Chains A and B, each alone.
Chain A
Amino acid sequence: MNYFLRLSVLLVGLVVSAGSYAANTVQPLTTADDLGPKVEQPFEFPHNRHAGNADKGGMEINCMYCHTYARRSMVAGIPPVQKCIGCHQSIESVRETPRIKKLFEYWEAKKAIPWKKVHDLPEFVRFNHERHIQRFVFAQNKPVQEACGYCHGDVKTMTVARRQKPLSMGWCVSCHQKDHPVDATSTKTTHGPNDCWQCHK
C-alpha cells in the first residue's frame, strides 16, 4: 500500500514537473520580474528618443501623436509609415543613420513595416483603450505617459517596447476593485466595472 502511495506521489511529481517544463519552453506568460519576452522588431524604434524627458535627450512627444486611435477606439493603433516620414523627411540631421535609412527603404518600397505586437492579449480578452484614456487623461487630467504607463510601463525609457506589467486578469481586477475619483475635481469615487462580459464576449 505504502509502496503504491509513494509511487503515485513520484508519478504526480514527474507529470507536474514535465508539464511546467513544457509550459516554460513555449513562452512564459509572466516571468518572475513581470517582464515580457524580448520582441525582435524589424528595426529598433527608440521610444526613449521620441517620448522621453527632454533632460534625457527625449522629444516628449505625446503617446497619442503616433498611437492616435487610443482615445477613440478599442485599439491604440500602430502608426503608418507615413506618420514617421511626415516628420523625418525634414529632419536632415539623422537622415543618414542606419535606422532612418531602413525606414526610408520601407517608404520607397511602399511597404508597411511589419512591427510585432508587444502587448498581446489572448483573443478572448477585449481591452478597451478608449475607456481608459477617456477616464484618466480626459476626465482626470492625468499626464498621458502616466495613464498609458499603468499598463504599458515606463515606455519612455525603453528603446524597443517590452512588456513590464503582467497583463493578467487578476492584475486588471486588482485595479478595477479600487475606488478612483470620477474626475479631476470631484471627490466622488467609483471603481471599474467588474462583470465578466466587459472584456470576455
Chain B
Amino acid sequence: MSITNLLTNWSDFRQQHPSAAHPHREYKWAMSIDLDSCTGCNACSVACYAENNLPVVGKEKFAHGHSHHWMRIERYWDNDGREFADQGAQFLPMLCQHCESAPCETVCPVGATNHTADGLNSQVYNRCVGSRYCNANCPYKVRYFNWYNYPTTENVWPEPMNQQLNPDLSVRSKGVMEKCTFCVQRLRASMNDARTQGRLVIDGEVQTACQQVCPTGAITFGNLVDPSAKVGKQWKQQQVDLNIDKQPKDAEEKAAKLRGYRILEELRTYPSVMYLEQLRESAV
C-alpha cells in the first residue's frame, strides 16, 4: 500500500456506514443482546478472556483502570431508595459496538484502526503506536490499553499456563490498544471454509466466544446481509435500522413499545450491536 494509493483511495480505506456508493457486500457482522435474558453471570466475559488471550491484571491494576475486559458487564441499580439486595440490579454487557462510522477510526494518527469490508472495526496491533486517541474518542469506553508487557514482565501466564493461549491471534505487548474483535479469528476461519466450498457462511456456523457460553442465549450474532439470519430478523422485528441515527419507531407512541435500541445512537456512530431493553416490573 503506497502512500499515493492511500491518499487517492482514502474513502476505500476509511469506510463510512454503508451508502449507495459503498453498500455491504456478502457480509455485515452484527449482534443483538437481549437484556431481559441476561442474568449478569459474567460467563461471556470469562469466555472472552480465554478466547482472546486477555491478561488477568489483578486487583490493584484493575482499580487503576488497567483491566482488559473486552466484554464487561455493567451494573445499574434501581434508584428508588431500596436497600442492597432488593435494589433490582440490571446488567448490560458492554463490548466494542463495531460502529459503522466509528469515532475511534477518524482520530488514529497512524491508521491502526480501520473498517473492514465485512463491517468490523479492526485494530491492527503492529501499526498502533499507543497514542490512545481512539480510547479518548470512544463514547462506549471499550478500548483497553496495554500499560505493561503482561506476557513477560508481569508474567500473567506463568509456565505452563502459556499453553492455554489461543494461537490464532497475537499476544499483545506493551503500548498497544486492543478491543473486542467480534472473534475475528473465528469469523475468518469459517469464511475460509465457506469460500473453499463455494458458498457463504450459514447462519449459526460461526459463534463468538461470548455467544457460545451464554447460558441463557441472550447474545445473537450473525450476518446482517443474510435474510435468513436470526440476528437480521431480530433487527427487523425491532425496527432498528443500521443506517439511520434516529429510529422512526421511537417517535411513535405505541402501547406495546418495541424493546430494541442501540446505545448512544444519536452520536451517529451507527453501532452494530442492538440491545433489547429489559422488561421492568413496572412496565408489565
Q: For the complex formed, measure the closest distance between the CB of A190 and the CB atoms of chain B, giving whole angstroms.
A: 11
From residue 165 to 201 of chain B, which have CB atoms closer than 8 A to chain A?
A: 168-170, 181, 184-185, 188, 192, 195-196
Q: For chains A and B in complex, what number of residue pairs have CB atoms within 8 angstroms?
A: 47
A194: nearest chain-B partner, CB-CB: B1
Residues on A with C-beta less than 8 A from B216 are: none
Interface centre among A130, A134, A194, A195 (most CB of B within 10 A): A195
Which of B77-85, B114-122, B138-146, B207-215 makes up part of the contact surface? B114-122
With contacts A124-B125, A195-B122 known, is A201 near B170, CB below 8 A? yes
Instruction: Indicate whether A197 sits within 8 Å of B170 (C-beta atoms), given known contacts A124-B125, A130-B192, A131-B192.
Output: no
Chief secondary structure at chain A's binding surface? loop
Indicate if B19 sits at the interface (CB-CB under 8 A): no
- Within 8 Å CB of B196, what residues of A? 72, 130, 134
Q: Are B1 and A173 in contact (CB under 8 A)?
A: yes
Which residues on the B side are within 8 Å of A195 (C-beta)? 114, 116-117, 122
| Chain B residues whose C-beta falls within 8 Å of the C-beta of A194 in the assembled complex | 1
Set of chain B residues within 8 Å of A134, measured between Cβ atoms? 195-196
Query: With a CB–CB cut-off of 8 A, which chain B residues contact A197?
Result: 116, 120, 122, 124, 181, 184, 188
* Other contacts beyond A130-B192, A195-B117: 17, CB < 8 A: A72-B196, A123-B170, A124-B125, A124-B170, A126-B168, A131-B195, A170-B1, A177-B5, A196-B116, A196-B122, A197-B116, A200-B124, A200-B125, A200-B126, A200-B170, A201-B170, A201-B181
**Which A residues are closer than 8 A to B by beta carbons?**
72, 123-124, 126, 128, 130-131, 134, 170, 173, 177, 193-198, 200-201
26 contacts between A and B (CB under 8 A): A123-B170, A126-B168, A128-B192, A130-B192, A134-B195, A134-B196, A170-B1, A177-B1, A177-B5, A193-B117, A194-B1, A195-B116, A195-B117, A196-B114, A196-B122, A196-B124, A196-B127, A197-B120, A197-B124, A197-B181, A197-B188, A198-B188, A200-B125, A201-B168, A201-B169, A201-B188
